[in-house]
Amino acid sequence: MSDTSDILISVRGLSFSRGSRQIFDDIDIDIKRGSVTAIMGPSGTGKTTLLRLIGGQLRPDKGNVVVDGEDVHALRRGQLYQLRKRMGMLFQNGALLTDINVYDNVAFPLREHTHLPERLIRDLVLMKLHAVGLRGARDLMPSELSGGMLRRVALARAIALDPMMIMYDEPFTGQDPISMGVLVRLIRLLNDTLGLTSIIVSHDIAETAAIADDIYLLSGGKVVAHGSADELKQSGSEWAKQFIQGLPDGPVPFHYPADDYAHDLLSGGPN
Amino acid sequence: MTTRLTEIWVGIFIAAGLAALFVLAMKVSNLSTYNRDGGYEVTARFEDISGLKVRSPVTMAGVRIGRVTNIGFDKNTFEAVVTMRVEARYNTLPKDSSASIYTAGLLGEKYVSLAPGGDEQSLHQGDRIKLTQDSMVLEKLIGQFVSRFMNSSSEKSSSK
Amino acid sequence: MKSVLDHLQSLGQKGTGVFERLGRANILFARILAGVPGLFLRPNLVIQQVYSVGVLSLLIILVSGLFVGMVLGLQGYNTLVDFGAEESLGVVVALSLVRELGPVVTALLFAGRAGSALTAEIGLMKATEQLSAMEMMAIDPIRRVLTPRFLAGFISMPLLAAIFSAVGIMGGYFVGVGLLGVDDGAYWSQMQDKVDLYDDIYNGVIKSIVFGIIVTWIAVFEGYDATPTSEGVSRATTRTVVHSSLAVLAMDFILTALMFGGG
């Protein structure tokens, strides 16, 4: 049952805590079809957790997540798996299966979920690898790939089943400028040519702002700013200002909460 | 994807394992001399069977022809009732054969030895072997020797 | 300075923690078994695992079995010769191996070699998010990764134990008959007389099947449950070897008492 409205994913009143930490506190997020939406925020705000909640790997304490008209956490195991076939996910380190080569990694979802003959699978795999520029690397093992190449192969795998959306978990972290440029280009290109909806979780401002249509800024478990890149630059919000400009101190403090400095130094005893 | 080599090795492995099991069953165990079903049961009563166990061998002329299948106790006559299963092919045992309990070797296990009688009729299922000789109990034997020794030495001293 | 209450509390926490783990382990076991029927359509997965779990353990089992059998031959002879009963060496070697040493030593070696490898492999897959990636690709990692490995252990253990016993008996033969002069015929004929197919061999096979289930279950669970860091995986691997070894020895006592107790 597909929903043809504008919004592909709608998150309402989502609350989630892990142990004693409240990670999300009643947040609302809308992801529009066909757009590239960025979820940004300082490290540790649980951005990866959000992707897991959308994908149904974690259950929220309160609130719901609706993907293409279906409430993710109300689905039974079989239905959830059907939904996941339409979602692609790119993990931070690629998460390729290390005991098989590039070709078999990209072919993996095709072999598991379809009964296509090997000839057809070969065509599909080569097409996906070509789209990310790694068709020539198909016989390499994951251990022989650089970080950037790993992620591109993982991207090829993520689009193997022609999903309706892709979630990117920190795709730009730790990449050299060239790899970063490649990935940025690929994400936008694939999104537009394949008619995907993309969610990027990141804290790399420059790269993400260059391709994102919509940006959500999270901090302290809440959405503190929302809008396009230009809107955020011009907004008066302290959060937006600190994040976009990369200021060391502001709403996200420099100092981890601690006692008074003079008192701590002068008391002289054990911690 | 499994390579051909992998599959060959797995095949060798499973074949080796099954072969080992087969070898254990055939050469190591008593499968070849196994005969649980078939055969006929006879009983014999003893005053003392000490040491005889279920599954102890039953022999005649030194050849194993069966096994002890049950050991019971008669509450009225206070005798041990030994049930034995003799293999079907040995169906010409005379009806008046006798059964004795011997020890294999000095410290070995007990077994039932049947000695043939002269009767023309053979033992059948459910028959009872009438002539029996008890198991030799080491303590009684030593006791006999000691008392005989004491008697002979006291005779010698009394005849001095 | 922890008070007595604090210590009691942490003890209680550890206790409930143990039950929690047992619960998780049981749930995992049920889910692993649920994936078994599906594997009939994909025997390749199991074959691959039987190779890595069974075939690669063959060498250590063969060598260990041979040496254990030879030692049994030597020690058995030394003890029996005092009673003039060295002709019974075959019985001693065969029964020791088939009833006890075959299943138990094989299980311990298996836990160390194959069990730890399974835990490390699965733990590493968890730490590098490969299991998570499979989930997001709508593939149940338990059915795809754990069940084939579990079946492989279940199949391999009894075969390895049988090979161990068979090789050990040959080892005892080489030492006893070949080196120490025990009569060739007596070695085998006494063995054949005293080793019972049902009571000894059958029970030995049952033991090795039970041990196979225990060791593989623990190995697979510890890997799946490991903390996804390098330290976590290393601790999980150690736990596999220790826990499965202890479990095997404890189960051995229980099974032996059930099977052979009371004469």
Q: Tell whether B62 is within 8 A of chain C (Cβ).
A: no
| Residues linked to residue A71 through DSSP beta bridges, in sequence order | A66
Nearest Cβ partner for C129 among A91, A109, A157: A91
Distance (Å, whole) CA C116 – CA C129? 20
Segment (H or E) for C104: helix C102-110
C-alpha neighbours within 13 Å on the C-beta side of residue B95 = 8
Distance (Å, whole) CA A201 – CA A205? 11
pLDDT-based confidence at residue A102 (cuts at 50, 70, 90)? very high
Distance from CA of C195 to the nearest CA of B (A): 5
Q: Tell whether B150 is within 8 A of chain C (Cβ).
A: no
**Predicted pLDDT of residue B31:** 57
Whether C155 shows a pLDDT value over 50: the answer reads: yes
Whether A271 shows a pLDDT value over 60: the answer reads: no
3-state secondary structure of A169: strand
Q: Tell whether C139 is within 8 A of chain A (Cβ).
A: yes
User: Average model confidence (pLDDT) for chain A?
Assistant: 84
Whether C188 shows a pLDDT value over 50: the answer reads: yes
Backbone angles phi, psi at C176, to 5 degrees: -70, -55
3-state secondary structure of A224: strand
Backbone angles phi, psi at A92, to 5 degrees: -60, -40
Distance from CA of C10 to the nearest CA of B (A): 48
Backbone angles phi, psi at C141, to 5 degrees: -65, -25
**How many structural domains is chain C composed of?**
1
Contact C146, C220 (CB under 8 A): yes
Contacts of C196 in chain B (CB under 8 A): 29-30, 55
**Predicted pLDDT of residue B157:** 61
Query: Given an 8 Å threshold on Cβ–Cβ distance, is B21 in contact with C162?
Result: yes
pLDDT-based confidence at residue C156 (cuts at 50, 70, 90)? very high
Nearest Cβ partner for B30 among C55, C165, C193: C193
Nearest chain C residue (CA) to A158: C137
The verdict on residue C15 lying in a domain is no
Average pLDDT over residues C169-188: 87
Whether A1 shows a pLDDT value over 80: the answer reads: no
Whether A252 shows a pLDDT value over 70: the answer reads: no
Q: Neighbouring chains of C at 3+ CB pairs within 8 Å? A: A, B
Give the residue ranges of DSSP H helices in B24-160.
Answer: 138-158
Query: Given an 8 Å threshold on Cβ–Cβ distance, is A113 in contact with C128?
Result: no
Q: Taking the mean position of all CA atoms in its chain, how far away is CA A229?
A: 18
For C222, the token pair is: 């510890």
Query: Given an 8 Å threshold on Cβ–Cβ distance, is A95 in contact with C140?
Result: no
Q: Tell whether C129 is within 8 A of chain A (Cβ).
A: yes
Distance from CA of A112 to the nearest CA of C (A): 8
Q: Which residues contact A223 (CB under 8 A, 6 or more apart)?
A: A27, A28, A29, A216, A217
The verdict on residue C171 lying in a domain is yes
pLDDT, tens digit (0-9, with 9 covering 90-100), for B99-113: 888 887 666 678 888
**Predicted pLDDT of residue B156:** 65
Q: Which residues contact A135 (CB under 8 A, 6 or more apart)?
A: A126, A129
Nearest Cβ partner for B24 among C50, C156, C162: C162
Q: Which residues contact C185 (CB under 8 A, 6 or more apart)?
A: none
Query: Given an 8 Å threshold on Cβ–Cβ distance, is C201 in contact with B16?
Result: no
Domain ranges of chain B: 2-31, 34-139
The verdict on residue C8 lying in a domain is no
Whether B57 shows a pLDDT value over 90: the answer reads: no
Nearest Cβ partner for C50 among B10, B29, B33: B10
Examine the predicted complex and report whether its ipTM is higher than 0.90: no
Query: Given an 8 Å threshold on Cβ–Cβ distance, is C137 in contact with A84?
Result: yes
Q: Which residue segment(s) compose the domain that C183 sits in?
A: 26-36+45-258
Nearest Cβ partner for C128 among A87, A93, A108: A93
Indicate the residue type of B30: N
C-alpha neighbours within 13 Å on the C-beta side of residue A12 = 8
Rg (CA), chain C: 22
Query: Given an 8 Å threshold on Cβ–Cβ distance, is C129 in contact with A95?
Result: yes
| Listed residue (A72, A86, A59) closest to A10, CA to CA | A72
Whether C263 shows a pLDDT value over 70: the answer reads: no
Backbone angles phi, psi at C204, to 5 degrees: -65, -40
Query: Given an 8 Å threshold on Cβ–Cβ distance, is C137 in contact with A109?
Result: yes
- Statement: the pTM of the whole predicted model exceeds 0.80: no
Nearest Cβ partner for A84 among C124, C138, C144: C138
- Of chain A, the end-to-end C-alpha distance in Å amounts to 60
pLDDT, tens digit (0-9, with 9 covering 90-100), for A16-39: 888 778 888 888 888 888 899 998
pLDDT, tens digit (0-9, with 9 covering 90-100), for A74-94: 888 888 888 888 998 998 888
Distance (Å, whole) CA A198 – CA A38? 8
Backbone angles phi, psi at A42, to 5 degrees: -65, 160
The verdict on residue C190 lying in a domain is yes
Whether C262 shows a pLDDT value over 80: the answer reads: no
Distance (Å, whole) CA B33 – CA B13? 30
Query: Given an 8 Å threshold on Cβ–Cβ distance, is A84 in contact with C136?
Result: yes
Backbone angles phi, psi at B74, to 5 degrees: -90, 120
Query: Given an 8 Å threshold on Cβ–Cβ distance, is A113 in contact with C133?
Result: no
DSSP B9-32: HHHHHHHHHHHHHHHIIIIISTTT
Interface test with A, best of C49, C122, C136 (most A CBs within 10 A): C136
DSSP state for residue A164 in the 8-state scheme: S
Indicate the residue type of B61: A
Backbone angles phi, psi at C64, to 5 degrees: -65, -45
Q: Tell whether B115 is within 8 A of chain C (Cβ).
A: no
| Plot region of A174 (φ>0 → left; ψ -120 to 50 → alpha; else → beta) | left
